[in-house]
Amino acid sequence: MKLPQVLTDRKPEIIARWFHLVVSTYPPDTAKFLLQEKDPFANPVGQALREGLEGIYEGWLKGVSEKELYPYMDRIVRIRAVQDFSPSKAVGFVLLLKEALRQELEPEIKKGHVSWEDLEYAYSLVDRVQLLAFDVYAKCREELYEIRVKEIKNRVQKLWERVNKEITGEVRPEDTQ
C-alpha cells in the first residue's frame, strides 16, 4: 500500500490522535474538558481545534496552497497566540502531527506496508505546514498591537475631533480614522 492511501484511509484515526496530542498541551483538567464537551458554543476552543486540525490535515493531504490552508491554521493559531503559550509552543502543535503519524503508522511500518523513508518524507511536508503557522502567528500578534492602538485612539477620539474643530472649524479626516 502506498503512503498517500494509508494517510487517506487512516484519516479519522490520525486526526483523532493529533487532536488528543494537541489538547494535551493544556493542563490535564482543561484537556479533559476540551476532549469531552461537544457543544461548539460551550467549548469554543475544542471546536476550533477540531475544525482547524481537520481542515489542515485534509488540505495537507491534498497538497493545497497555503492560501487555502490559511483559514484553518488561523482558526487555531489565533487562539493560541493569546493564550499562555510561548511563541514556540503556540505554533508547535503542528509538529505533533509527526507524532500522530508515527503512532498511527508504526504497525504499518512493522508490516512493511510503509517505509521509514516514506514517513520521513511525510515529516518534511509537515515542516512546510509548520512554517505557515509561524506566518499566522506573526500576523495575529501584529493585529493585536494594531487593535490595541486603535482602541486607545478611540477612547479619546471625540475629544480630539472637538479640539480640532475648535481650532480649524472643521473635522479633519485624519481625526476620524
Partner 1 sequence: MSRISKPEELMKINYRPPKTGWMDTPVEFRRGTWLYAAKPKSLEVLELPNPREWSPEEEDWKLPENWKEILLQGLKERLERFRSLKLFLDICVRCGACADKCHFFLGSGDPKNMPVLRAELLRSIYRRDFTTTGKILGKLVGARDLTVEVVKEWYYYFYQCTECRRCSLYCPFGIDTAEITMLGRELLGLLGCYPDWTVASAANCYRVGNHVGIEPHAFRDMVEFCVDEIENITGIRVEPTFNRKGAEILFIAPSGDVFADPGIYTFMGYLMLFHEIGLDYTLSTYASEGGNFGLFTSHEVMKRLNAKMYAEAKRLGVKWILGGECGHMWRVIHQYMDTMNGPADFLEEPVSPITGTKFENAKSTKMVHICEFTADLIRHGKLNLDPSRNDHLIVTFHDSCNPSRAMGFFEEPRYILKNVCRNFYEMPENTIKENTFCCGSGAGLNADENFEMRMRGGFPRANAVRYVHQKYGVNLLACICAIDRAALPALMDYWVPGVAVAGVHELLGNALVMKGEKERTTTLRGEPLEGKGKREGEMEPGKDDA
Give contact residues for partner 1 (rule: CB under 8 A).
21, 24-30, 33-34, 37, 39-45, 47-48, 78-79, 82-84, 89, 92, 95-96, 98-99, 102, 116, 119-120, 123-124, 143-144, 147-148, 150-152, 154-159, 161-162, 165
CB 129 within 8 A of CB 14: no
**C-beta closer to partner 1: residue 59 or 75:** 75
**C-beta closer to partner 1: residue 15 or 122:** 122
Please report how close the Cβ of residue 163 comes to partner 1 at its closest, in angstroms.
10
**C-beta closer to partner 1: residue 131 or 152:** 152
**C-beta closer to partner 1: residue 84 or 174:** 84
Please report how close the Cβ of residue 28 comes to partner 1 at its closest, in angstroms.
6
CA distances from 173 to 1, 65, 166 (A): 65, 39, 15
Please report how close the Cβ of residue 62 comes to partner 1 at its closest, in angstroms.
22
Please report how close the Cβ of residue 157 comes to partner 1 at its closest, in angstroms.
5
Specify burial of residue 176 (Cβ count, 10 A radius: 0-12, 13-18, 19+).
Answer: exposed
DSSP 63: T
**C-beta closer to partner 1: residue 13 or 142:** 142
Please report how close the Cβ of residue 47 comes to partner 1 at its closest, in angstroms.
8
CA distances from 160 to 129, 141, 146, 153, 155 (A): 45, 28, 20, 9, 10
Question: What's the longest Cα–Cα distance across the chain?
Answer: 82
Q: How far apart are the first and last CA of the chain?
A: 59
